[in-house]
Chains A and B, each alone.
Chain A
Amino acid sequence: MENSSLAADQRIPVTVITGFLGSGKTTLLNRVLTENHGMRVAVIENEFGEVGIDDALVLGSEEEIFEMNNGCICCTVRGDLIRILENLLTRKDKFDRVLIETTGLADPAPVAQTFFMDDEIRDNYRLDAILTVVDSLNTLQHLREEKPEGTENEAVEQVAFADRLLLNKCDLVDANTLAHLSKELKSINSSAQQIQSSFGGFPLEQILDIEAFSLEKVLADEPTFLEDTDHQHDQTVTSVGIELTGELNLERLDNWLGVLLGKKGVDIFRSKGILAISDNPRKYVFQAVHMLFTGEFATEWGDEPRVNRMVFIGRNLDRQELTEGFKNCLATNTKKMNSSN
């Protein structure tokens, strides 16, 4: 656990764009590459040779997923990204942020875990946000697709991993369909802010350098996201949000998260939290992808109420068990508690 402030983070921000084929990723990417926004973005995309588009740096990659030898079945990294991002460091003067486009069916976990598992990447780059572009016309169908047992529904996974959901092609659906889609997305991932647009016309300031990978910025933008949302029946991938008043014991918290993610990390896709640790004036920012987690002290609480907020997104989550476990991390175990999912 490091004692550093996010405000002083000098690492290069990285945005990951996921989304099914035809959802509008490329349209959005082309806007980033061609619009006069003043940002210098290096783009890494699949099967694309290195070319210059209006002085932008575009590099091709071929997805190579490496399992680790540490006994954890869900720990994987993207070898191609490590190679390319390390090489990009020699050209640091030519860009100030990175955008990674994944293929339509790619699992976002290895991309995110690369920023946890590789020392050089972790030292030099900061995962800013995972954005999932959602085709408003066809996504409901993808989300409901029955998959053979043992295989994942990639659309559900991509929604679950997102820090922001970009609902594209809104012009092609009526208000009812859009509301229905929005509700279904919220029930899978309550922490991801939803932005609606057509033709990939999302405001770039809501896409790049938004610090959405951590919960702190998300709460600042949308403080009520932990409020109750309707469940869809038979839905196995959901979010559990917990709010807890009081101060936590860091050692108990570490132990609980270690055991929880060790045992259930395969099913818990993402977890993040802003926590009040006893006798520490600063917020403790926690984030995890499957079993890999990091935590660091960030800005001070100041006049804000010291309320612990945590969200888990994953498969077959047991809200009661998570809430009880979280509650047991309180420095004094008698504080008021409320939870929602």
Chain B
Amino acid sequence: MALRPTNESGALLELPPSKVGALSIKAHPVLGLYAISGPEGLEIRELQNHRTLHIDLGAWTTTSQWYKSSSKLAATFGRKVIARDCLSDKRWESPEFEATLQDLCWLPQNGMIASTGYGGVNLTAPFRSTAAETLEFKGSLLRIAISPNSRWIVTGSQDSTLQVFSPKEDIRLEMRGYLRKVNELAFNTTGSRLANNGSPEVTVWDFSGAGPKGRKPLQLGQHRPTAIRIKWHPKNELVFATSDARGVVRVFDLNQRQEPNVESWASETNAKICVLEWMPDGSLFCADTSGRCATVSVDTSK
């Protein structure tokens, strides 16, 4: 495996400023729309001309997520979740939860939304019901990932732990021992592995079969102080990439029979790489907080 920059001198294009500010931006894979989440709310725009399609003002909006390739978008909105169907103009709102929400995720199998914050994981059914079920936790849950079969709901906590829920099987697990809060985690495409930050090493848990209970995780690589982004390869379930606050990108290949293969690349700016995405051609797109971007080719054949 080898990492080679193909373009490391690019500058990011500036989008027209938004009234909502900008904490995260999510582009739709097909519809030519993008959603901006910010301290002041949520804005949905057309990609071609940046025209505003919908805007919801008045609440801290940490993130949004499109439901697969449909026209439905969900976003945290202060202490509520809001969902919009961008084609039919339908808007849905959850009840108000205990504190400002930190993250959310659609359950892939049934179109429900799991949102996290202080107090646990809230499960809601947008456009169908305003009722909510809460998987309780006394603490603040920062980030959520759901396995593709919706069996596992895994959250990273302010208390430097992973909190695992499997509501159907009534399973609750807690993974401790992290040095920092866990605010980045991701399942691979099959749901067999979950990788998360929280320590200089990235931890990889085996969620195949009966799940991670009793299994020792892999602890890989060294990021200082910890990985910022973790992205699994969209086609190879045992390859993932990470980035950190010092401009370092690493790609881990767990296909090796003995030690996993790790390759690194460091950006020119050494700035925090806050955007890391696999491109359709298998390369990695990286953007850092200094406004620079780079594309890095990843050759997994070597």
Contacts and interface: CB of A to CB of B under 8 A. Distances in A.
A79 B100 contact: yes
Nearest to A60: B39
B235 to A, nearest CB: 33
A66 B118 contact: yes
B159 interface: yes
Interface stretch (B105-113, B132-140, B259-267): B132-140
Given A64-B118, A80-B100, A83-B100, A70 B159 contact: yes
A280 to B, nearest CB: 25
Contacts, number: 45
Contacts of A69: 137-139, 157, 159, 161
Contacts of B139: 66-69
A61 to B, nearest CB: 10
A66 B100 contact: no
A271 B139 CA distance: 26
A118 interface: yes
B158 A66 contact: yes
Contacts of A66: 99, 118, 139-140, 158
Interface in B180-198: 180-181
A230 B7 CA distance: 71
A120 B184 CA distance: 13
Interface string A55-96: 000010010101111100000010110010001001000000
B165 interface: no
A35 interface: no
Contacts of B39: 50, 59, 87
Contacts of B99: 64, 66, 79
A171 interface: no
Contacts of B138: 67, 69
A321 interface: no
A66 B157 CA distance: 12
A176 B62 CA distance: 53
A119 B158 CA distance: 9
B86 interface: no
A50 B159 CA distance: 30
A123 interface: yes
B20 to A, nearest CB: 11
Contacts of A80: 100
Contacts of A77: 140, 158
Contacts of B159: 68-70
Contact of B158 (A62, A87, A118): A118
A147 B39 CA distance: 38
Contacts of B181: 118-120
Interface in A107-153: 117-120, 123
Nearest to A69: B139
B289 interface: yes
Nearest to A77: B158
26 contacts: A62-B100, A64-B99, A64-B100, A64-B118, A66-B99, A66-B139, A66-B140, A66-B158, A67-B138, A67-B139, A68-B158, A69-B137, A69-B138, A69-B161, A79-B99, A79-B118, A83-B60, A83-B100, A87-B23, A90-B289, A117-B158, A118-B181, A119-B180, A119-B181, A120-B181, A123-B225
A-B pairs, 4 with minimum CB distance: A69-B139, A119-B180, A69-B159, A66-B140
Given A69-B161, A119-B225, 9 more contacts: A50-B40, A66-B158, A69-B137, A69-B157, A70-B159, A83-B60, A83-B62, A83-B100, A87-B39
